[in-house]
């Protein structure tokens, strides 16, 4: 069944869609940052949204419907969101000839808090990733990805209920910084020659060149955020995932710099793995264990020793890998939310991509985008609305409502036991709205 996006938009109140020119919304105020990470959120707030490419509009408007229902349920008319469309991606290219036009950047700078549905990223060429550009443009240095099992979701694990992770992925450095040149470029030739001449490092002439920066500053600011989160939310373990046995001065340094922050700034709250012997092998009550795992070992231990892991802190590329694997343990990327956080802004987004082959088919699961707004609400301090979203989604699955992309992962026997009805993208969102209203 196809989906009529324009009809859906007309049914959503307080939606300010782009009509050719950016004009401040008729009601609502923007979130204000009074200091690094310090928010002042008005009761009538303006939150931006980028509807995205591919399946982006379908999941974006489904999530907005659920978010509106949760806010109304939690606060009545005392709090309200005006959703302000910012044009980025394929739609912007058609209108402005540029996928990230200056006009849109200026509005995003003013709004600071926004939802981004998935945007297309080319493979092997073409334009640079807008997702990466937005994170760097607004210095959204932490990508936070909760991964939690909901009863009824398909999982390859025997005990999927053990999956309750929060992944902190450094967002601005590593190979995702995008510092690279094609093998046949003058820049790559100069770098190869420089390395040969100055350091005696021989690289083939048909090799592309990429640079992997990982800084002490970038590492330690996300370390502080992850450790603070773990302590405040009474998590058990913070595990640094790295490949420092091979990449000693980038990923190895990442691990050392995280441990330095834990030791120097959070000493009264943490214990290290090599200290457990003096406590009889157990973590003392009220302490957070800080440890590390080599990246390839970490990936397999999520399968074999799932319950041992809790908060995972990783450089950019490792964080991407482990997030996708972890999502696969609880139903896939369709249920995996993300929140990009910086000192002066935040961007909610689903982890999955644009899935162009499903565009317009009303098929894919909107849970990742719905839960991205749930996480945004928590960081904005609207915890009551966040709880309604979480309960609504969890109840929908428990009562047997699934989208087709989740149902197809189940065996025939599992479908008979778990699935009451297979719903489309919009119908699943409507079911969650219905559940929120009756909670």
Q: Which residues contact 108 (CB under 8 A, 6 or more apart)?
A: 48, 86, 114, 134, 138
DSSP states of 70-96 as a string?
HHHHHHTTSSEEEEEE---THHHHHHH
For residue 400, the tally of other CB atoms under 10 A from its CB is: 14
Is 129 marked within a binding site?
yes
Query: Is there a binding annotation on residue 99?
Result: no
Rounded CA gap, 345 and 111, in Å? 8
Tell whether 354 is in a known binding site. yes
**48 has binding-site annotation:** no
Q: Does 365 carry a binding-site annotation?
A: yes
357 labeled binding residue:
yes
The answer to whether residues 394 and 402 touch, using CB atoms and an 8 Å cutoff, is no
Rg of the chain on CA atoms, in Å: 22
> How far is Cα 340 from Cα 372, in angstroms, rounded to an integer?
10
**Active centre residues (catalytic):** 176, 243, 296, 320
305 belongs to an annotated ligand binding site: no
User: Which residues neighbour 345 within 8 Å (Cβ) at sequence distance 6 or greater?
Assistant: 33, 112, 113, 138, 139, 140
Spatial distance between the Cα atoms of 207 and 190, rounded to a whole number of angstroms: 12
At residue 363, φ and ψ (nearest 5 deg) are -115, -40
Is 356 annotated for ligand binding? yes
304 burial type by CB count under 10 A (0-12 exposed, 13-18 middle, 19+ buried)? exposed
Q: Is 355 annotated as a binding residue?
A: yes
- The torsion of the CA quartet 154, 156, 159, 160, rounded to 10 degrees, works out to -50
420 annotated to a ligand binding site: no
Question: Which residues share a beta bridge with 241?
Answer: 293
Q: Does 320 carry a binding-site annotation? A: yes
Q: Is 156 labelled as part of a ligand binding site?
A: no
- CA angle 138-335-382, nearest 5°? 55
**Helix or strand or coil: residue 353?**
coil
Is 408 labelled a binding residue?
yes
For residues 307 and 164, the answer to whether their CB atoms sit within 8 Å is no
Strands 142-148 and 164-170: antiparallel
Residue ranges of the binding site for D-threo-isocitrate? 129, 131, 135, 145, 169
Residue ranges of the binding site for Mg(2+)? 320
Residue ranges of the binding site? 129, 131, 135, 145, 169, 320, 352-358, 365, 408
């Amino acid at each position: 069944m196809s989906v009529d996006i324009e009809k859906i938009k007309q049914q959503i109140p307080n939606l300010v869609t782009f009509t050719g020119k950016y004009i401040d919304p008729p009601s609502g105020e923007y979130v204000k940052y009074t200091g690094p990470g310090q928010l002042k959120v008005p009761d009538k707030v303006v939150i931006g949204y980028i509807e995205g490419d591919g399946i982006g509009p379908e999941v974006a408007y489904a999530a907005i419907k659920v978010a509106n229902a949760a806010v109304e349920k939690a606060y009545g008319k005392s709090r309200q969101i005006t959703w302000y469309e910012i044009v980025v991606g394929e739609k912007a290219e058609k209108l402005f000839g540029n996928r990230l036009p200056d006009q849109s950047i200026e509005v995003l700078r003013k709004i600071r808090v926004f939802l981004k549905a998935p945007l297309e990223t080319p493979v092997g060429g073409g334009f640079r990733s807008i997702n990466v550009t937005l994170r760097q443009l607004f210095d959204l240095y932490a990508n936070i990805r909760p991964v939690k099992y909901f009863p009824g979701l398909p999982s390859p694990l025997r005990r999927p209920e053990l999956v309750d992770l929060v992944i902190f992925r450094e967002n601005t450095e590593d190979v995702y910084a995008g510092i690279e040149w094609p093998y046949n470029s003058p820049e790559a030739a100069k770098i190869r020659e420089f390395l040969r001449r100055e350091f005696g490092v021989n690289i083939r002439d048909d090799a592309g060149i990429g640079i992997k920066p990982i800084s002490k500053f970038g590492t330690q600011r996300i370390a502080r955020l992850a450790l603070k989160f773990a302590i405040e939310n009474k998590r058990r373990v913070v595990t640094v995932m790295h490949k420092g046995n091979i990449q000693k001065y980038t990923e190895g340094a990442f691990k050392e710099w995280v441990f330095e922050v834990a030791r120097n700034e959070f000493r009264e709250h943490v214990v290290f793995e090599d200290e457990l012997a003096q406590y009889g092998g157990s973590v003392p009550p009220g302490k957070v264990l800080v440890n590390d795992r080599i990246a390839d070992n970490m990936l397999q231990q999520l399968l074999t020793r799932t319950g041992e892991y809790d908060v995972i802190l990783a450089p950019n590329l490792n964080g991407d890998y482990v997030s996708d694997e972890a999502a696969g343990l609880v139903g896939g990327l369709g249920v995996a939310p993300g929140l990009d956080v910086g000192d002066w802004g935040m961007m909610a987004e689903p982890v999955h991509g644009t899935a162009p082959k499903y565009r317009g088919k009303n098929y894919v699961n909107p849970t990742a985008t719905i839960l991205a707004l749930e996480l945004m609400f928590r960081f904005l301090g609207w915890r009551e609305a966040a709880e309604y979203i979480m309960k609504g989604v969890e109840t929908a699955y428990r009562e047997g409502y699934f989208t087709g992309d989740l149902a197809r992962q189940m065996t025939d026997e599992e479908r008979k036991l778990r699935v009451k009805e297979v719903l489309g993208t919009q119908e699943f969102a409507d079911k969650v709205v219905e559940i929120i209203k009756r909670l």
